[in-house]
Structure 1
Amino acid sequence: MVVSGCSGGGKSTLLAELQRRGYRVIEEAGRRLIQAGGATPWDDLPGFLQQAMALAEQDYHTHVGTAGWVFCDRSLVDLASALQHLTAAPCLAPLATAFRYHLQVFMVPPWPAIYCQDDQRRHELSTAIGEYQRLLRDYPALGYQVQLLPRLDVPARADFLLDALSRDAGELTQ
């Protein structure tokens, strides 16, 4: 299950809440790559995206078919969308069949009141909003159904997501 959307919109905080409630969470590949001393988006954006895609692909193979909900902080789609935007190479099309996540994707919208930069998020909010707008286009283009997450406190946001999934319990998990 992918949780994506605007950088700095509360994805990681929401996923930490879901993990605290006992759900499996895959941390964002890009942040893990930076924390491990790998490529960075500010030094080599194409190289960073390619390395993060390789890590996200490993995550996918590790967890595909796992029973129960597995929540991903972003996915291969996010990374391929960014790489395609940057290079114009057709990065998204292969993901339409090769790496399928749960049909429903949860998106956090821009939330200027909580947006902040840090050592791993150096870009401006305007850049994050552009990324969000691309993802709103690219996920549906690959056949995903996007569910926007409301701006609520963390426990209420987690409840909203889990309630939406319980209504959708007949779908395949991942």
Structure 2
Amino acid sequence: MQNDSDRFFVLTGGPGSGKTTLIEALRSAGLATSPEAGRGIIREQLAIGGPALPWRDPALFAELMLSWEMRSYHAAFEQNGPVFFDRGVPDTLGYIRLTGLPVPDHIRNAAERFRYASHVFIAPPWPEIFRQDSERKQTLDEAERTYHALAEVYTELGYELVPLPLAPVEARLRFIFAKAGLSLDVRSQKGRE
């Protein structure tokens, strides 16, 4: 498999830790981004009355999540420059472990095969901003356990975790730009490509 890991950056962590807001800020700054699978799948399944919801059929939900993340990974090759993912293929492995279901070999294989930049940005639990909604039904305790499960999976897979500061979006954005070696003037650079 071709590997563009030097330009594929993952933002991971438990739900309600500000990842999606940060992904939206990265997109507004002119960077290529990939949306989170979980929310998209939940939204689609609720719209059609489908069974692949984490509270109905976690194994089926994980399969759709894996498929979404693999498709997003392949689509990223069409983008120029860095691409920021709101979660990556290894998140599916973390989710399966968290549910207590047996981990299928194909999910473990995918987590090992689909590689991203060696440092992964991880958003720690942030109780002050955590909120539940119609798509995020996890409690803060579940969000914290998700964070730890994902930290364990990415570490086992050889990634270096880069914890995001508990700070406003602009400060987090500057932090990511510095750690990823990107210019703060991405929007003007993108126009010259």
Equivalent residue for 2:13, pick from 5, 8, 21 = 5
For residues 57 and 44 of structure 1, the distance between their equivalents in structure 2, rounded to whole angstroms, comes to 20
Shift of 1:119: 0.8
Structure number, greater radius of gyration: 2
Shift of 1:84: 3.4
Shift of 1:66: 3.9
The gaps in structure 1 that reach 5 residues or longer are 168-174
Report the TM-score, using the length of structure 2 for normalisation: 0.81
Kindly tell me: are residues 74 and 96 of structure 1, through their superposed partners in 2, closer, same or farther at Cα, counting changes over 3 Å?
Answer: closer
RMSD value, Cα: 1.6
Name the counterpart of 2:190: none
The one-letter code of the counterpart of 1:135 is L
For residues 68 and 139 of structure 1, the distance between their equivalents in structure 2, rounded to whole angstroms, comes to 23
Report the TM-score, using the length of structure 1 for normalisation: 0.89
Name the counterpart of 1:18: 26
Percent identity of equivalent pairs = 34
The one-letter code of the counterpart of 1:73 is D
CA contact (8 A) 2:93 2:103 kept: no
**Which region of structure 1 is more displaced relative to structure 2, 93-102 or 113-122?**
93-102
Name the counterpart of 1:136: 151
For residues 20 and 43 of structure 1, the distance between their equivalents in structure 2, rounded to whole angstroms, comes to 35
Name the counterpart of 1:61: 74
The one-letter code of the counterpart of 2:59 is P
Equivalent residue for 1:45, pick from 55, 58, 66 = 58
Q: Quick check: 1:109 aligned with 2:124?
A: yes
CA contact (8 A) 1:5 1:135 kept: yes
CA contact (8 A) 1:8 1:115 kept: yes
**Which region of structure 1 is more displaced relative to structure 2, 6-15 or 66-75?**
66-75
CA contact (8 A) 1:105 1:146 kept: yes
CA contact (8 A) 1:84 1:90 kept: no
The gaps in structure 2 that reach 5 residues or longer are 1-8, 183-193
Name the counterpart of 2:92: 79
For residues 97 and 121 of structure 1, the distance between their equivalents in structure 2, rounded to whole angstroms, comes to 27
For residues 48 and 93 of structure 1, the distance between their equivalents in structure 2, rounded to whole angstroms, comes to 16
